[in-house]
Amino acid sequence: MKKTLFQKAICLLLSVTTLLGVFGITSYAADGKKGSNQDTASSLEDMQSLVGVSSYEDYLAANGDSFVSGLPVINIDLNDMVAGSTGVKPSESDECKQSFADNQQNWANFGDNWENSIYLPSTGQTTWNFKIPEGAASYYYIKIEYYSCITSESSISAIERKFKIDGKAPFDEASYIKLDKSWSFDQVTVLEETESDKEDGVYITYDNTGKYFDDDSYYKIVETVKNGKSVKTVYKMSVDIIGNSMSPSIEQEPQWSTYYVDDSTGYYHGYFRFYLLNGSHQLTLESQREPVIIKSIQLIPYEGEGDSIPSYEQVLQEYAANGYQSASGDITTLEAEFPDFVSDSSVYATNNNTSAQTYPSAPGSQIFNVIGENSYNSVGQWAAYKFTVNESGLYKLSARYLQSTLQGMYICRTIKLSGGKYGYEDGTPTVPFMEAYDVQFNYNKKWQSTFIGDSKGNIFQFYFEEGVEYTIYFEVSLGSLKELIYRAEKSLEAINDCYLRILQLTGSNPDPDINYDFYKYMPDVPRTLLVQAIELMDIKAGFEELCGTNGSHIATLETIAILLDTMGSEEGIEIAANLSNLKSYLGTLGTWINDSKRGGMVVDSFSIVPANATEDVLPRAKSNFFKSLWFEFSSFIYSFFTDYDMMGLTTKPQEDVTETVNVWLATGRDQSNIWRSMIDAKGGFTDRTGHAVTLKLVTAGTLLPSILSGKGPDIYIGLGSADVINYAIRNAVMGVSGGDKNLTQEENEIFLNHYYTYKNPDGTYEITKEYKGEENLSFVSQTFEENVGDNYIQAAMDTVTLRGVSYGLPQTMTFAMMFYRMDVLAELGVRVPETWSELISTLPTFQTNNMEIGVDYISALDFMIYQKGGNMWLYTDNEDYAGAKIGLGTDIALESFEYVCRLYSDYSFPITYDAANRFRTGEMPLLIGGYTGLYNQLVVYATEIEGLWEFCPLPGTEREDGTINYDSLAGVSATVMLHGCNNVFAAWEFMQWQSSAEVQASYGNKMVALIGPSAKYETANINAIKDLSWTARERAAIEDQIRNMSSIVNYPGSYIIARYMKFAFLDAVNDGANPVDAMTEYLDDINSEIRRKREEFDLPVLMPDEDPPTTSKSATK
C-alpha cells in the first residue's frame, strides 16, 4: 500500500517539478528571501560560464599576431566604476579607517594614497570602464599597483580575484589572478652602533653557540660597517628548553607591489597579453579572498617578443657592453632557514638531520637548519633573502640542497631580484631574464652543492653593485617541465572525458564479453584513447629527453599509455574489460601530475660567489665518513634521552601544581605544538594570566582510565559531545555554567562573576573582583553566559547541556554539506538542487549518464527527521521527561526514515562508495558529506579539479508554508573541565582563553599555515569562522548552513539510537523490509534501553504507553 502511494507521490512531484523547471526556477532565483542553499550555491549560468572558456593558446591564435607598436600607455580611471561596485576610496572605507586607528604601523608604507586609490573588500566585485582609442586596437599587458593592506577582513590567504574583461574571463588561465602578500619574521632587533675595525661593508654571520648572546637560540647577525662604526641587525630563532627550534611567528608586511597579470598556475612564463579592440570596455575584479587596495591599473602596449623580459643572451651582451668583470671578493652565504620574506605563512624553516654537514646541526635536537620539504613546494610559493655584496662585479649563485623526491626528475625555481637596477620602484622583484624562470635542481639521493643554472647548461651570472641591498626571490615554478606537465593535464582531461562517455554506454560494471560497438555509437572514444596513448608516450619521451634518465616516476606514464593502447585498438573491444583499470589509472595519473608539480626540495644554504670562482670554494655537499658516523651515532644515543613532554616548553614546568593547568588533548603532534606555542607566546595564555600550563598529547582512550585512577588532567580538549554527557552524568566532568551540584558554592561563583587579572610592571599578577581600569589589565574572566554569548549556536550548546547545566565549551563542530562538480552540472544543464524532490527529479539526467549521487546514509537518516520538522526525542520541553522516550515513532520521523530508505532501495543511491575518487572522476557530481573532511581531502587529493567544485548547504525539504528547511546536524566536540581539577579558576580561565573567537581563529590559521590548505579547522566558535581562510563564497555557504542547524541532544542511552536506526535501515535496504515496520520493530528495544539507563541514574522514566504526568507538551518543535 505504502509503496504505491509513495510512488504516486513521487510521480506527482516529478511532474510538478518538471513543470516548475520551465518557469519556476527563475522566480525562485529572484526571490532569495525564502532561504535555501541557492543563496550561496553557484547558479547554472555561473557554472556554465566556467566551462567552454578557451585557453591562452587558442586566445592568441584567434587574435592573431599583429600589434601596433609605439602606442601610449593607457591609464584606467579608477573612479570610473560602474554602479554596484563594492570598491571605495580608503578614506571612505570604515575597515581602512578602523584599521588605521587600531594600528598605524600597518599603514606606514601606505603613503598619502587615501584619496587616489580604491579599497576592494573581500566580497563583491568592482568593475571599471575604460576606452581604447581609435587605431590603438592591439595587445596590452595589464599592470596593477596594489597595497596588501591589513584590515579586519584580512586573514592568512593570498589575495585572489576573479578577473574579467567585458564581463567574462578572456581565457581560462586568466580567470583567476593571485596577488602576493609578503610575510616576514617578527623577532628582529637592531643593536646600537659600536666601534669596529672591519672594512666598510655588510657581513652576515650565523650563530647558535651562545657566543654573542646568552642563550642557545639560533641567530642571524647582519653587521653593517660604515666608517668604523658597526650596526648589527639580529634575527632570532628561539629554541625550547631542550634545544629544539620553535616555529617563529611571522607577520604580514603591508606594502605596495606591482603586478602584471600572469599565470598563477605556472604553465606560462612571462606576462599575459590581452587583445583589446577600439571602443569601450569593462574590467572586473571579483573578490574571492582578502581585501586589497589598488592604486593604478595600466594597459601597457605589447611591443613584440622579448619586450618585457630580456633573454640571458641579451643580458650577457649588456654585461660585455658595460665592461662588467667578475668580482673577486668574499663569498656571501645565506642560510636558507632565515628568509627575510616569504610568500605565505606556510613557507617556513624546518629541521633536517640527514647530513652532519648541514649548518647548524645538533644531534638529538631539532634545530631549524633548512627550508623546504613539504612546506615550500607548490607553484608560486617563494622565499626571499636580502644581501649586500662588498665589491661590485659579476657573481654566480650556488646552493647546497637535497632533491630526492622524484626519482629521475628535476625541479625548478624562478629567480626574481629586486634592489639596484632590478625590480620596480616599489620593491617588487622582477625576473632578470627569461631563463631565470627555469633554474634547475637535479635529482640525487645525496646532498648536492652546485652552481645555479638552467637546463641548457648556463650557469647564471648576475651583476651586483657594492653596498646596494638586493633581495633575491626563489619561487617554486614548473620551469621547462611546464609544457609537458600541461600536456599531461590536458591528456588526463581527455581521458577522463572518455571515461565518462564510456560509462554512459556501459555503466560502471560492463560485461567484458559484450561488444558494446564503440565504433558505431561513439567512434571518437577509441580514437581518443589511441591518440592519448601516443600523447602520453610522447610526454614520457619528452621527460626522458629533458631529464636524461628514465626514472621510475616517469615510467608510470608508459604503464597508462599501454592500457590506453589496448583499450583503443581493435575497435574498442577491450574497453569494457579494462574499464575498472582505466578508472584506477585515472587516479594514478592525477596523483602523478600532482607529484610532478610539487617542487619539493630541502635547501641548506645559498651562496653568492664571484663569477670566476670554481666549484672548490662551494660548501661541501657531503661530510666525511667519520663525521657522519659520529653524528648518526650520537643522534641515536640522544634519542634515548629526549623528553618529549618538554618539547616546546620555554620554561621548566613549575613544581607548584595548583598554579599549573594540566591540559590533555588527543590530536596530532602539530596541533599540540601549535597550542604550546600559542600558550607560551607573548600575549599568550601564560603571559596574560600568570598560570603555567602543561600540555600533554595522549591517545584517545587514555582519559577514562586516568579519571578512574585520579591522575586525570584538569582540562581535556576535544571530547565528543556524547562522551561529555556520559561523563557528566557520572560526575566526571564539571558543569561550567554555575549549577553543578558537585562543586562548592565558591567554585560555582567562578562561572558567574567577573574577575580581572592585572599584570603589574614587575611581572606579578593580581586578581581582583573589582574593575580597576584598563591599565595593566591583561585578562578578564567572564561569566559563562558571556562566554557563550553569540559564539556558539544553540544547537551546539544543547549537545553539551544536561538538565540545564552545560558541561563544556564547544570546540569543533562538523556537519554535512553538499559538494558539487560545477563543470559536470553545467554540461548536464542541471542546477544545484534546492530541495530533495528537485534532487530526485534530476536523478534521471544523472542516471542516463551513469552518474550517481553520493549521500551518506547515516547522516541523512538523522538530518531528514529535522528537515521534516521532527525531533529525535519526545517531550523536549519537559525538563524531567526530556529524553525519556525516543521520537522515532512519530509520523514525521517514520515518514522521513522511509523517505531516506527509499532513496537507496528505490532510487539506487549507492550505500558504500569511495567519495573523493568518484567525485574526482565526475561519476558522482553531487556529494553530501562533512564539510571539512571532504574539503580537506579534495583540496590535496584532487588538485586537477581545482576550481571546478564548490560546496553549499544541503538540499532542503519544503515546509507547508512554502519555505524550505535545509537543516544540517551539528556534531560537536567540547573542551571540558574534569572532576578533581585542582584549580577551578585557572582551568576556567584556560577554557575561556582557548575557546575565544580570537584564539580559535588564530589556531585555525596556524594549522593552515603549518600543514597547508588541507588542514582547515572546523571551529565551533562561529565568530572565529569569519577570520579563517575560507573564500568569501565558502564562508557564506558555511555561515548559511550554520544558521540552519539542528542537533541531536544527548540523553542517557543515546548510543542505542544510531545502532538500531542502522539495523532498521539495513533491514529495509538489504532484505526489502518495509522501512516503517523495520523501524517500529526496534522502537520498544530502544525505549526499554533508555528506560533502563534512566533508572540507573534515578531519572523519571516512562512506560511504553505512558505520557509525562504533568501537562505534557508534544515535543515536535
Partner 1 sequence: MSQTSEQIKRPVQRSEMSKIQWTWKEMKRNKTAYFMLAPFLILFIVFTVLPVFLSMILSLTDFNMLEMPSWKGVTNFTRLFLEDEIFILACQNTLIFACVTGPVSYLLSLLIAWFINELPPKIRAVVTLVFYAPSISGQVYLIWKTLFSSDAYGWVNATLIDLGLMTKPILWFENADYVMGLCIVVALWTSLGTAFLAFIAGFQTVDRSMYEAAAVDGIKNRWQELWYITLPTMRPQMMFGAVLSITGAFGFGAVVDALCGFPSVDYAAHTIMHHLNDYGGQRYEVGYASAIAVVLFVIMISCNIVVKKALSKVGE
Please report, as ranges, the residues that interact with partner 1 according to CB under 8 A. Answer: 508-512, 580, 583, 704, 707-708, 726-727, 730-732, 908, 910-914, 1055, 1059, 1062-1063, 1066-1067, 1069-1071, 1093, 1096
Residue 1060: CB minimum distance to partner 1, A? 10
Q: Which is nearer to partner 1, 904 or 990 (CB)?
A: 904
Residue 405: CB minimum distance to partner 1, A? 29
* Nearest Cα residue to 213 out of 242, 191, 240, 246: 191
**Cell for 228?**
668604523
Residue at 593: amino acid letter:
I
Please measure the distance between the N-terminal and C-terminal CA atoms of the chain and give it in whole angstroms: 30
Sequence-separated (6 or more) residues with CB below 8 Å from residue 211? none
The residue count of the chain comes to 1117
Q: Which is nearer to partner 1, 765 or 907 (CB)?
A: 907
What letter does residue 275 receive in the DSSP assignment?
Answer: E
Residue 1066: CB minimum distance to partner 1, A? 5
Residue 852: CB minimum distance to partner 1, A? 9
**Cell for 236?**
632570532
Residue 662: CB minimum distance to partner 1, A? 18
Alpha-carbon distance of 1104 to 1107, in angstroms, equals 9
Question: Rounded to the nearest 10 degrees, how much is the dihedral formed by the CA atoms of 1046, 1052, 1058, 1064?
Answer: -120
Q: Which is nearer to partner 1, 575 or 822 (CB)?
A: 575
Helix (H) or strand (E) holding 371: strand 370-372
Which residue, chain included where needed, has cell 547515516? 858
Residue 1072: CB minimum distance to partner 1, A? 11
Beta strand 816-821 with 801-802 is: unpaired
C-beta neighbour count of 874 within 10 angstroms: 26
Q: Which is nearer to partner 1, 310 or 910 (CB)?
A: 910
Q: Which is nearer to partner 1, 110 or 1060 (CB)?
A: 1060
Q: Which is nearer to partner 1, 831 or 918 (CB)?
A: 918
Residue 970: CB minimum distance to partner 1, A? 22
Q: Which is nearer to partner 1, 1075 or 1108 (CB)?
A: 1075
Angle at 399 between CA 395 and CA 400, to 5 degrees: 145
DSSP of 826-871: HHHT-PPPSBHHHHHHHHHHHHHTT--EEE-HHHHHHHHHHHTT--
Contact, 304 vs 138, CB < 8 A? Answer: no
Kindly tell me the number of DSSP H helices and DSSP E strands found in the chain: 30, 47
Alpha-carbon distance of 490 to 629, in angstroms, equals 48
C-beta neighbour count of 272 within 10 angstroms: 22
Residue 1091: CB minimum distance to partner 1, A? 12
CA-to-CA separations, 715 to 124, 370, 700, 709, 737, in angstroms, rounded: 42, 36, 14, 16, 16
Q: Which is nearer to partner 1, 419 or 929 (CB)?
A: 929
Residue 579: CB minimum distance to partner 1, A? 10
**Cell for 34?**
525564502
List residues bridging with 853 in a β-sheet.
926
Residue 336: CB minimum distance to partner 1, A? 41
Residue 986: CB minimum distance to partner 1, A? 23
**Cell for 19?**
513543470
Q: Which is nearer to partner 1, 728 or 1049 (CB)?
A: 728
Residue 591: CB minimum distance to partner 1, A? 18
Q: Which is nearer to partner 1, 540 or 583 (CB)?
A: 583
* Nearest Cα residue to 964 out of 28, 46, 9: 28
Q: Which is nearer to partner 1, 322 or 912 (CB)?
A: 912
Residue 546: CB minimum distance to partner 1, A? 37
List residues bridging with 926 in a β-sheet.
820, 853
Residue 737: CB minimum distance to partner 1, A? 21
Q: Which is nearer to partner 1, 175 or 508 (CB)?
A: 508
Alpha helices (runs of H) in 703-762, residue ranges in sequence order? 703-709, 721-729, 745-750
Q: Which is nearer to partner 1, 846 or 1030 (CB)?
A: 846
Angle of the 891-905 helix axis to the 1055-1071 helix axis, nearest 10: 50
Alpha-carbon distance of 121 to 372, in angstroms, equals 33
Alpha-carbon distance of 982 to 795, in angstroms, equals 31
* Positions of E strands within 926-1038: 926-930, 949-952, 957-958, 964-965, 968-969, 971-977
Q: Which is nearer to partner 1, 181 or 918 (CB)?
A: 918
Residue 616: CB minimum distance to partner 1, A? 52
Q: Is 674 helix (H, G, I), strand (E, B) or coil?
A: helix
Handedness of CA 916, 917, 921, 923 (dihedral sign): negative
Q: Which is nearer to partner 1, 510 or 684 (CB)?
A: 510
**Cell for 155?**
586573514
CA-to-CA separations, 368 to 246, 251, 604, in angstroms, rounded: 8, 19, 10
